[in-house]
């Protein structure tokens, strides 16, 4: 499929208009997608080398994430799951800050208190990810309700996978959004596997997008390998939301090329043939071919794009690995606005105990 496909709702049909980005915008998107792919491959390698503890790959989902992010505004709020690194990059998050969090060094803004890959960026309205499945969905609806009451012309976007559509928060969140017509975009990256559970074992619905019908708003199925289709669908969903027409559920159909996480071995539940068939739709290759056909990209420029991405990743990683480790004393901070007398006592005890690492 090359454009968004409507899910019928009663007698009405909702379609996302074909609003492809300009060639210049698509070249920008290609740079982001290449950077995400290079970073992703490096992070997977770093985990295997023991240099980071955990990672959730995104390869295969670059067009879905970049296409969605480019259709948003800086003032919109993003509620990610745990593999939306490409979204964070497009919104302006620093690659060095991402590596700081993955490593858990002294510059990690979260101070090592979250799993690697669970970063957040206040300046980019990018909420910290959390491991429990689907919780960000109802959080995004709550934030949208607050914006609605303040009359802020923004949208909130909840990112989640196909597995999260079986969570309580998915149904509660969509129901609230439908009842209160919140300015929310529900962006489901259906990568076909909820860890090892195939999509067809999870629901009898023909699509995940059609689940929106029960809650009174449109659901749209889009080819998640197609940057243009994703961009158009999100652009229309954002227009609806800011016009007071309520939420939209977008199902971007993609495929996870790598494991669910570095704790997973996908060879145990899917075949090489399945993976190879999916790789024929590689979103990075697809966009490269489109730009080449449009005369906006040639092999020389493409080599520069990849070389630049590799240089950025190497530089950011070097900076992050050169930073000192987190000071263990930070464990006493941020518990309360000010340290309590008991925390002060515990910190002093730590400082005076060489066996605990203090006394330095």
* pLDDT for the residue 321: 97
| CB 89, CB 101: distance < 8 Å | no
Catalytic one of 37, 42, 181, 256: 256
Helix H or strand E encompassing 221: strand 219-223
Of 167, 314, 229, 327, residue with least CA distance to 15 = 229
pLDDT of the residue at 356: 66
CB-based contacts of 87: which residues, under 8 Å, 6+ apart?
65, 66, 68, 69, 78, 80, 126, 159
Give residues with Cβ within 8 angstroms of 181, minimum separation 6.
217, 244, 245, 246, 247
Question: Tokens 């800011």 belong to which residue?
Answer: 242
Instruction: Check 83, 238, 260, 286 and give the catalytic one.
Output: 260
* pLDDT mean across residues, the chain: 92
Q: What is the DSSP letter of 59?
A: T
Distance CA 295, CA 245 (A): 39
Catalytic: 256? yes
In this structure, of 10-19, 73-82, 316-325, the range with the lowest mean pLDDT score is: 10-19
The residues spanned by each domain of the chain are 5-325, 327-360
Residue recorded with tokens 């990683």: 317
Do residues 129 and 80 lie in contact, with contact meaning Cβ atoms separated by under 8 Å?
A: yes
Tokens 């999870």 sit at which residue?
202
CATH topology for the 5-325 domain: Rossmann fold (3.40.50)
| Global pTM exceeds 0.85 | yes
DSSP 238-264: HHHHHTT---EEEEEE----S-SSTT-
What local confidence, expressed as pLDDT, does residue 15 receive? 47
Strands 193-194 and 197-198: antiparallel
**Does residue 2 have a pLDDT over 70?**
no
Q: What is the DSSP letter of 163?
A: G
- The secondary structure of the chain in percent helix, strand, coil, rounded to multiples of 5, reads 50, 10, 40
In angstroms, rounded to a whole number, what is the distance separating the alpha carbons of residues 346 and 210? Answer: 54
| Cβ atoms within 10 Å of 294's Cβ, excluding its own | 11
Average pLDDT of span 8-13: 38
CA 56 to chain centre: 11
Whether the predicted pLDDT of 124 surpasses 60 = yes
In this predicted structure, the answer to whether residue 309 has a pLDDT above a threshold of 90 is yes
**Residue % of the chain over a pLDDT of 70:** 93
Residues 6+ apart with CB under 8 A from 86: 32, 33, 36, 58, 61, 62, 65, 66, 69
pLDDT tens-digit readout, 164-182: 999 999 999 999 999 999 9
- 354 or 172: which carries more pLDDT confidence? 172
User: Which tens digits make up the pLDDT trace of 95-110?
Assistant: 999 999 999 999 999 9
Q: Are 317 and 97 in contact (CB under 8 A)?
A: no
- Catalytic-role residue among 31, 107, 171, 269: 269
Identify the DSSP state of 190. E
With a cut of 50, say whether residue 12 has pLDDT above it. Answer: no
Per-residue pLDDT of 178-207, as tens digits, reads 999 999 999 999 999 999 999 999 899 999
pLDDT the model gives residue 334:
87
Only one residue has tokens 């005076």, namely: 352
Residue 345 class from Cβ within 10 Å (0-12 exposed, 13-18 middle, 19+ buried)? exposed
CA of 145: how far to CAs of 148, 198, 241, in Å? Answer: 5, 34, 12
What's the pLDDT tens digit per position in 236-272?
A: 999 999 999 999 999 999 999 999 999 999 999 999 9
The larger pLDDT score, comparing residue 356 to residue 69, is at: 69
Q: 354 falls in which pLDDT band (50, 70, 90)? A: confident
Q: For position 3, what pLDDT does the model report?
A: 52
């Amino acid at each position: 499929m090359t454009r968004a496909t409507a899910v019928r709702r009663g007698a009405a049909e909702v379609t996302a208009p074909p609003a492809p980005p300009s060639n210049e915008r698509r070249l920008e998107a290609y740079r982001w997608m290449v950077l995400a792919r290079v970073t992703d491959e490096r992070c997977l390698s770093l985990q295997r080398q023991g240099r980071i503890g955990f990672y959730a790959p995104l390869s295969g989902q670059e067009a879905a994430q970049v296409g969605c992010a480019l259709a948003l505004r800086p003032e919109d709020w993003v509620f990610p799951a745990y593999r939306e690194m490409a979204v964070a990059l497009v919104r302006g998050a620093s690659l060095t800050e991402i590596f700081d969090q993955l490593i858990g060094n002294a510059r990690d803004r979260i101070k090592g208190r979250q799993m690697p890959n669970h970063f957040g960026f206040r300046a980019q309205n990018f909420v910290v990810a959390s491991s429990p499945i689907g919780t960000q969905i109802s959080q995004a609806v709550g934030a949208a309700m607050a914006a609605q009451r303040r009359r802020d012309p923004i949208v909130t976007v909840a990112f989640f996978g196909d597995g999260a559509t079986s969570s309580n928060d998915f149904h509660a969140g969509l129901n609230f959004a439908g009842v209160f017509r919140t300015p929310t975009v529900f962006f489901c990256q259906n990568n076909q596997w909820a860890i090892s559970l195939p999509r067809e074992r999870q629901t009898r619905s023909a699509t995940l997008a059609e689940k929106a019908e029960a809650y009174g708003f449109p659901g749209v199925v889009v080819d998640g390998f197609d940057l243009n289709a994703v961009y158009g669908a999100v652009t229309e969903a954002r227009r609806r939301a800011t016009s007071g027409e309520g939420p939209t559920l977008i199902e971007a159909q993609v495929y996870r090329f790598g494991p669910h996480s570095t704790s997973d071995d996908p060879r145990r539940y899917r075949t090489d043939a399945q993976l190879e068939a999916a790789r024929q739709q590689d979103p990075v290759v697809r966009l490269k071919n489109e730009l080449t056909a449009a005369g906006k990209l040639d092999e020389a420029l493409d080599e520069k794009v990849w070389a630049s991405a590799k240089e950025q990743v190497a530089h950011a990683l070097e900076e992050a690995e050169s930073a000192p480790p987190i000071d263990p004393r930070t464990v006493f901070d941020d518990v309360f606005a000010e340290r309590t007398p008991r925390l002060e006592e515990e910190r002093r005890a730590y400082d005076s105990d060489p066996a605990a690492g203090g006394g330095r």
